[in-house]
Chains A and B, each alone.
Chain A
Amino acid sequence: MRVQMTVNGKAVSGEVAPETLLAQFLRENLRLTGTHIGCDTSQCGACVVLCGGKSVKSCTMLAAQAEGADITTIEGMESPGGELHPLQEAFRQNHGLQCGFCTPGMVMSAADLLRQNPSPSEEEIRHWLEGNICRCTGYHNIVKAVQAVAAAK
């Protein structure tokens, strides 16, 4: 079947099997490999992208379900001029990443949090990130990074 959607501001389309997940479509059809797949039970959050601005786990959504949707992946977070998104910059400044595998999902998830709640408390940040697992950082610096962006707003 054919799917069409907007990804990072560009109209894209592709031929996929009906069971193709959005994560697979992004990674294999579009070669946007910044979206990662870290589990098979919708737990880890490495695959989080924005769908119409809302964070979704792209491993738990069929490509077909994203028909006509506006998708943003980690590759679409920089400004057109190549400047890092404030969250990307804050993760760098606060050493909020180590191996980098969970990072795209963390950034996308945090982006949705700040969209909904521009000044979350530490507890709210930790609660929101329940669906994103990081095995490297112990979350401390990730929480600091999200706080830093919230404080700057």
Chain B
Amino acid sequence: MSDNGHGIGAPVKRVEDFRFLTGRGTYTDDINRPNQTCAFFLRSPHARAQIKSIDAAKAKSAPGVVAVFTGGDMQCGGIPCGWQVTDKNGEPMKEPPHPPLAKDKVSHVGDQVAVVIAESLSAAKDAAELIAVDYEVQTPVVDMEKAIAGGDVVHEEAPGNLCYDWELCTAEGGAKEVDDAIANSAHSVSLRIVNNRLAPNAMEPRAAIGDYDLASGEYTLYTTSQNPHVIRLLMGAFVLGIPEHKLRVVAPDVGGGFGSKIFHYAEEAVVTWASAQIKRPVKWTAERSESFVSDAHGRDHITDVTLALDAEHKFTALKVQTLANMGAYLSTFASCVPTYLYATLLAGVYTTPKICAGVKAVFTNTVPVDAYRGAGRPEATFLLERIVEQAARKLGVDRVELRRKNFIAPDAFPYQTPVALQYDSGDYHSSLEKALAMSDWEGFAARKKESAANGKLRGIGISTYIEACGIAPSAVVGSLGARAGLFEAATVRVHPTGSVTVFTGSHSHGQGHETTFAQIVAEKLGLPMENISIVHGDTAKVPFGMGTYGSRSLAVGGEAISRALNKIAEKARKIAAHLMEADAADVVFANGEFAVKGTDKKKAFAEVSLAAYVPHNFPHKSAHDDGEGLEPGLEEQAFYDPLNFTYPAGCHICEVEVEPETGAVTVAALTTVDDVGRVINPMIVEGQVHGGLAQGVGQALLERAFYDDNGQLLSGSMMDYTLPRAKDMPPLSGLQTATTETLCAHNSLGVKGVGETGTIGSPPAVINAVLDALAERGVTDIQMPATPFRVWSALQEAGK
């Protein structure tokens, strides 16, 4: 342990900032390889069509063109999905083929049809226009409800466009028992909720460079990924058949991910494969309009929910039926998002005893849908916090009191929910009370009056959420169908002069791991920050890793580092004991120094590490290992597989002003109190919350990836898709964030995760606030995004 000011809990300024602030970052598109070519993908303009023929002869002979490839040229596996879901009849989910380049048909606007590789990007683009594709255009399947009603199918392999019909219902009597409980309860309330489809829009568009080395037979893929080892595994083993020792995947600086850069994408496989065909590096960078039609989208659920309550207003049962859009193909995590990351969270922070969730995953002729910041948990939270709010309004009871009454009590942990998860720790009352106080909930009436005097409708909304992070315990997710263990690996290398390099399988694309992880090292080894380096994002450097998603970096990756550090400290203590001729049990390690208890004997960490590498005076292992001696060197590895998810939870409160004449909503205030477990760097935690809140406000008020009946994405550019801008967020004085702390009970750091709290907790708080503002005009429901048009229309409708 250490008190050097850079350890756990200190708001250390970020190590990575200097290079980003001075233009010295290295993103994938910043990399050029010698003799590199440029790739351009010809994409389908149709949502659904048969490809009758492709004539690329003219393109192949166009100036500057090196090669043109189509689906027929590329003999390889399909893009795999990483999660198996077994439907309620015991059938495996339907997994239609997903070729990296379309073979006989295209299934969404943006589907890859051909790749043109040329000496310049403009030559590749010009040549792509010369490719003649004979499409037989078919009626696309766009609307989910129509998709499952019979008729056209996206894939013959999935009759009725159903990927799976899955159920999570732990009541002994199954769904009927929950239906009966609802029928026999004193009250019930129902809602239909559309969780709007979102385009993630990390600021850095995706990019990939394939670089095949003819001399060694090794492939290198530079890519904008949140998890290079996972890409190596999926692309190497399933798509291209390249063994790990011949495939290096580098994910350098990555400009935001938010889930969209978890997945293995076709372009990665195509540039890697093509590089070996033409024996030159192949580089591709998405234009933003390509991102909109090729990056996996998020959310897109239609849900019918019913909550039942007894006469005392305790929740008795919850029934949820959801249609979840998968898009045209199953992306890497797609199948698990509306099941294991959604239905399992439907207890929320409440003691609802009976819960039944049915989820139908539906194929449509749209871009694949997969995990986007929060992934399943925002959808679960939104429907819970909307239905609880609706119940309070219907019953005419205080919405805060209704929540309090149904909270899981602080002394009830570990708490087994009726939907598979066991919460290890939490205190939902304390985050609620703190948020109420910070937001001046009691003083709202006066503010509402003031707004009214200015002709504005003011509303306040609340959400009390829980989520599951630290994905994931391998045994648990294995039993749920994950095709890989979701542990994390870390290697800590102490150099001879006492500086430290940590190799982590987590990947930072804005989260600040180079700082946070270094703080863990600073804390545990008592070293200054400048003596510590964090290395990530390269399979040739980092032995193994599962990457960053689901707020897992600290709770899984950080814990792996912590465990490797423990091994370092233990070995170093034995070396120090030898050097000081003391019993190892008498040696204490603090602030970077080993000391023999009760004496003035001391050895600095650097002296001990030098002894490990210049082991002239060293407790060597004997020829026949007696179990006591040590090997030279000071490097340790840990693989950490958590025992459970972690469960951040908290309370978000939003205050809005609505202009009734225009329907424009202004977020006047946002207050968040999140229990994310132990905080390593409060500055970074706060930043994560801010960013998540902007995306939450975006979902609630602004963003919608909208397809017309022809399967054309109408909001397919940054001019059409409304990303939150600076003026869309509350003023500095209106945004308050705070934390409460209950420690995670099953990792030694006590950490839970913070990356997704903002997108999970805030959308229902915002919408509940909008509805609170509109209540006096008789509006009782509104869907996201609550755009000015929707708000205005709702006011007109209610005023009739």
Q: How far is A88 from B203 in the complex, measured between Cα atoms in Å?
A: 19
Q: Does A67 contact B (CB under 8 A)?
A: no
Q: Does A65 contact B (CB under 8 A)?
A: no
Interface string of A129-150 (1 = CB under 8 A from B): 1101111111111111001000
Q: Does B23 contact A (CB under 8 A)?
A: yes
Q: Are B735 and A100 touching (Cβ within 8 A)?
A: no
Interface string of B387-429 (1 = CB under 8 A from A): 0000000000000000000000000000000000000000000
Interface centre among B25, B27, B255, B726 (most CB of A within 10 A): B726
Interface string of B16-48 (1 = CB under 8 A from A): 111111111111011000000000000000000
Interface string of B731-758 (1 = CB under 8 A from A): 1100100000000000000000000001
In B669-705, which residues have CB < 8 Å from any A CB?
Answer: 683-684, 686-687, 690-695
Number of B residues with CB within 8 Å of any CB on chain A? 57
**Of B137-145, B574-582, B717-725, the one touching chain A:** B717-725
Q: Does B438 contact A (CB under 8 A)?
A: no
Q: Are A122 and B732 touching (Cβ within 8 A)?
A: yes
Beta-carbon nearest neighbor of B31 in chain A: A33
Q: How far is A40 from B723 in the complex, measured between Cα atoms in Å?
A: 15
Q: How far is A100 from B22 in the complex, measured between Cα atoms in Å?
A: 10
**Do A142 and B726 form a contact, CB below 8 Å, given A17-B122, A33-B30, A102-B203?**
yes
- A-B contact count, CB below 8 Å? 178
Q: How far is A143 from B729 in the complex, measured between Cα atoms in Å?
A: 11
**Of B377-385, B441-449, B508-516, the one touching chain A:** B508-516
Interface string of A81-102 (1 = CB under 8 A from B): 0001000100111010111111
Min CB gap A140→B, angstroms: 5
Q: Are A92 and B14 touching (Cβ within 8 A)?
A: yes
Q: Are B14 and A95 touching (Cβ within 8 A)?
A: yes
Q: Are B694 and A139 touching (Cβ within 8 A)?
A: yes
In A101-153, which residues have CB < 8 Å from any B CB?
Answer: 101-104, 107, 122-123, 125-127, 129-130, 132-144, 147
Query: For A133, what are the chain B residues with a Cβ–Cβ distance below 8 Å?
Result: 203, 718, 723, 725
Q: Are B205 and A135 touching (Cβ within 8 A)?
A: no
**Do A125 and B726 form a contact, CB below 8 Å, given A41-B288, A140-B735?**
yes
Beta-carbon nearest neighbor of B254 in chain A: A99
Number of A residues with CB within 8 Å of any CB on chain B? 57
Q: Are B732 and A34 touching (Cβ within 8 A)?
A: no
Q: Does A39 contact B (CB under 8 A)?
A: yes
Min CB gap B706→A, angstroms: 17
Min CB gap A50→B, angstroms: 13
Min CB gap B201→A, angstroms: 6
Q: Are A92 and B21 touching (Cβ within 8 A)?
A: yes
Residue in contact with A141 in the complex, picked from B511, B690, B695, B758, CB distance below 8 Å: B690
Beta-carbon nearest neighbor of B508 in chain A: A99
Residue in contact with B204 in the complex, picked from A35, A38, A123, CB distance below 8 Å: A38
Interface centre among B29, B686, B691 (most CB of A within 10 A): B691
Q: Are A38 and B288 touching (Cβ within 8 A)?
A: yes
Residue in contact with B17 in the complex, picked from A44, A92, A101, CB distance below 8 Å: A92
Min CB gap A148→B, angstroms: 11
Q: Does A19 contact B (CB under 8 A)?
A: yes
Query: For B735, what are the chain A residues with a Cβ–Cβ distance below 8 Å?
Result: 138, 140
Residue in contact with A75 in the complex, picked from B20, B22, B287, CB distance below 8 Å: B22
**Do A135 and B258 form a contact, CB below 8 Å, given A74-B22, A130-B727, A142-B726?**
yes
Q: Are A41 and B719 touching (Cβ within 8 A)?
A: yes
Query: For B723, what are the chain A residues with a Cβ–Cβ distance below 8 Å?
Result: 133, 135
Interface string of A42-57 (1 = CB under 8 A from B): 0110100000000000
Q: Does B253 contact A (CB under 8 A)?
A: yes
Min CB gap A13→B, angstroms: 20
Q: Does A77 contact B (CB under 8 A)?
A: yes
Min CB gap B223→A, angstroms: 15
Q: Does B74 contact A (CB under 8 A)?
A: no
Q: Does A73 contact B (CB under 8 A)?
A: yes
Interface centre among A17, A35, A39 (most CB of B within 10 A): A39
Q: How far is A75 from B203 in the complex, measured between Cα atoms in Å?
A: 20
Q: Are B691 and A98 touching (Cβ within 8 A)?
A: yes
Beta-carbon nearest neighbor of B720 in chain A: A41
**Do A38 and B205 form a contact, CB below 8 Å, given A17-B122, A95-B14, A137-B690?**
yes
Query: For A132, what are the chain B residues with a Cβ–Cβ distance below 8 Å?
Result: 726
Q: Does B202 contact A (CB under 8 A)?
A: yes
**Do A136 and B256 form a contact, CB below 8 Å, given A99-B510, A122-B731?**
yes
**Do A135 and B201 form a contact, CB below 8 Å, given A95-B14, A107-B21, A122-B732?**
yes
Q: How far is A46 from B23 in the complex, measured between Cα atoms in Å?
A: 11
Q: Are B20 and A103 touching (Cβ within 8 A)?
A: yes
Q: Are B687 and A137 touching (Cβ within 8 A)?
A: yes
Q: Are B17 and A33 touching (Cβ within 8 A)?
A: no
Beta-carbon nearest neighbor of B681 in chain A: A95
Min CB gap A61→B, angstroms: 17
Query: For A39, what are the chain B residues with a Cβ–Cβ distance below 8 Å?
Result: 288, 717-718
Interface centre among B16, B731, B732 (most CB of A within 10 A): B732
Min CB gap B317→A, angstroms: 37
Q: Does B13 contact A (CB under 8 A)?
A: yes
Q: Are B255 and A101 touching (Cβ within 8 A)?
A: yes
Beta-carbon nearest neighbor of B692 in chain A: A138
Q: How far is A77 from B24 in the complex, measured between Cα atoms in Å?
A: 12
Q: Are A138 and B729 touching (Cβ within 8 A)?
A: yes
Q: Does B622 contact A (CB under 8 A)?
A: no
Q: How far is A35 from B27 in the complex, measured between Cα atoms in Å?
A: 11
Q: Does A62 contact B (CB under 8 A)?
A: no
Q: Are B727 and A127 touching (Cβ within 8 A)?
A: yes
Q: Are B23 and A33 touching (Cβ within 8 A)?
A: yes
Query: For B24, what are the chain A residues with a Cβ–Cβ distance below 8 Å?
Result: 34
Query: For B510, what are the chain A residues with a Cβ–Cβ distance below 8 Å?
Result: 98-100, 136
Q: How far is A141 from B510 in the complex, measured between Cα atoms in Å?
A: 14
Q: Does B289 contact A (CB under 8 A)?
A: yes
Q: Does A32 contact B (CB under 8 A)?
A: yes
**Do A100 and B255 form a contact, CB below 8 Å, given A135-B201, A140-B690, A144-B732?**
yes
Interface centre among B25, B684, B692 (most CB of A within 10 A): B25
Q: Are B203 and A99 touching (Cβ within 8 A)?
A: yes
Min CB gap B688→A, angstroms: 8
Residue in contact with A99 in the complex, picked from B21, B23, B204, B718, CB distance below 8 Å: B204
Beta-carbon nearest neighbor of B717 in chain A: A41
Beta-carbon nearest neighbor of B731 in chain A: A122
**Do A41 and B718 form a contact, CB below 8 Å, given A98-B510, A136-B510, A140-B729?**
yes
Known: A100-B16, A136-B256. 7 other contacts (CB 8 A): A33-B29, A98-B691, A99-B509, A101-B25, A123-B727, A134-B203, A135-B723
Query: What are some 14 contacts across the A-B interface (CB < 8 A)?
Result: A33-B30, A34-B23, A36-B203, A37-B29, A39-B717, A75-B22, A84-B21, A99-B509, A100-B19, A100-B21, A123-B727, A136-B687, A138-B729, A141-B690
Q: Which residues of A contact B (CB under 8 A)?
A: 17, 19, 27, 32-41, 43-44, 46, 73-75, 77-78, 84, 88, 91-93, 95, 97-104, 107, 122-123, 125-127, 129-130, 132-144, 147
A-B pairs with the 3 shortest C-beta distances?
A34-B23, A100-B20, A101-B255
Q: Which residues of B contact A (CB under 8 A)?
A: 13-14, 16-27, 29-30, 122, 201-205, 253-256, 258, 287-289, 509-512, 683-684, 686-687, 690-695, 717-719, 723-727, 729, 731-732, 735, 758
